[in-house]
């Protein structure tokens, strides 16, 4: 039965803006899409494309993601986008920072709009912050965490690693925010530390307020950096209207 008119949601309940952000995510990633949509919801409309399901070991799949980026962007077809964010960090850790940047620049030229990976967006923020040390909060398997540490060291930062596990194993998609908070706090980080929770598939937004309580830490995540970059590329947003995580960055001098 069709609901009465007064019971049906109005069109205004679904915010659709004239600014469109394309988001690319791995096929089983449960977090990048909802977190990015939440961070941008009041300002931009997010349209998602997923990398295809593939077999084989993780290194092989990550390498394939890098090669198929142009085709995945092309899968948006005739949809007019203002920018594209690649919501996958692990694949870029197979590259050097300068290769990641060159790839983003080439894709931007090809498609006539700004294209950034989560790692490229994060690097832009870190270049503005200019911290001496970066705390890398990583849910990855040790081999991929080491590649991530090497990536950020090559980009110019001293890197301290805080490994994160889910029920005693490395499983980014299964990390509970409460466990994330417990494991980060167990590391006894400085009050002004710059944290980067790497991996677009690890749920982080609920963990950030307790990690920020009573300190001046800069709290970055792969999804926050991608959203910040998308806002930066597509026009200003009033700081007072930003979600808490982006509003905190704005108060620390990182306005979109």
Cβ neighbours for 236, distance < 8 A, ≥ 6 positions apart:
256
- 164 versus 240: the higher-pLDDT residue is 164
Q: What pLDDT score was predicted for residue 254?
A: 87
Q: Average of pLDDT values for 206-214?
A: 97
Could you give the CA distance from residue 57 to residue 192 in angstroms, rounded to a whole number? 38
Give the CA count within 13 Å in the CB-facing half-sphere of 12. Answer: 0
Could you give the CA distance from residue 122 to residue 228 in angstroms, rounded to a whole number? 9
Q: What pLDDT score was predicted for residue 9?
A: 40
The radius of gyration computed from the CA coordinates of the chain, to the nearest angstrom, equals 18
Q: Cβ distance 91 to 100 under 8 Å?
A: no
Q: Using H for helix, E for strand and C for coil, what is the string for 159-221?
A: EEEEECCECCECCHHHCCHHHHHHHHHHCCCCCCCEEEECCCCCCCHHHHHHHHCCCCCEEEE
pLDDT interval class at 18 (50, 70, 90):
confident
Q: Which of 234, 166, 235, 157 is nearest to 196 (CA)?
A: 157
For strands 194-197 and 133-138, give the pairing: parallel
Burial class of residue 218, CB neighbours in 10 A (0-12, 13-18, 19+): buried
3 pLDDT exceeds 60? no
Could you give the CA distance from residue 82 to residue 202 in angstroms, rounded to a whole number? 26
Strands (E), the chain: 20-25, 45-50, 83-86, 115-117, 133-138, 158-163, 194-197, 218-221
**What SS3 state is found at 230?**
helix
11 pLDDT exceeds 50? no
Burial class of residue 141, CB neighbours in 10 A (0-12, 13-18, 19+): middle
Could you give the CA distance from residue 123 to residue 203 in angstroms, rounded to a whole number? 21
Q: Average of pLDDT values for 187-208?
A: 97
Q: Cβ distance 239 to 255 under 8 Å?
A: yes
Q: Average of pLDDT values for 182-205?
A: 97
The single-letter DSSP state of residue 248 is: H
Q: Indicate the range of 1-10, 146-155, 173-182, 230-239 predicted with least confidence.
A: 1-10
- The pLDDT tens digits of the residues spanning 125-155 come to 999 999 999 999 999 999 999 999 999 999 9
pTM of the model: 0.91
Q: What pLDDT score was predicted for residue 237?
A: 63
Q: Average of pLDDT values for 246-254?
A: 91
């Amino acid at each position: 039965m069709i609901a009465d008119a007064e019971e049906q949601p109005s069109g205004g309940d679904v915010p659709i803006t004239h600014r469109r952000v394309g988001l690319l995510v791995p096929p089983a990633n449960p977090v990048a899409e909802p977190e990015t949509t939440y961070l941008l919801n009041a300002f931009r409309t997010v349209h998602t494309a997923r990398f295809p399901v593939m077999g084989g070991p993780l290194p092989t799949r990550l390498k394939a993601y890098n090669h198929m980026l142009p085709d995945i962007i092309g899968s948006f077809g005739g949809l007019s986008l203002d920018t594209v964010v690649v919501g996958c960090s692990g694949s870029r850790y197979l590259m050097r920072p300068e290769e990641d940047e060159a790839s983003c620049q080439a894709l931007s030229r090809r498609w006539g709009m700004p294209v950034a990976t989560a790692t490229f967006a994060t690097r832009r923020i870190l270049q503005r912050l200019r911290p001496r040390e970066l705390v890398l909060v990583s849910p990855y398997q040790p081999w991929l965490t080491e590649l991530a540490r090497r990536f950020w060291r090559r980009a110019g930062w001293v890197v301290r690693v805080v490994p994160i596990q889910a029920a005693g194993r490395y499983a980014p998609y299964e990390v509970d925010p409460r466990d994330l908070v417990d494991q980060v706090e167990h590391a006894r980080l400085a009050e002004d530390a710059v944290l980067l929770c790497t991996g677009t598939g690890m749920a982080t937004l609920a963990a950030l307020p307790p990690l920020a309580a009573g300190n001046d830490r800069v709290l970055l995540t792969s999804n926050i950096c991608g959203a910040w970059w998308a806002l930066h590329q597509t026009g200003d947003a009033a700081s007072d209207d930003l979600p808490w995580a982006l509003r905190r960055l704005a108060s620390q001098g990182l306005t979109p």
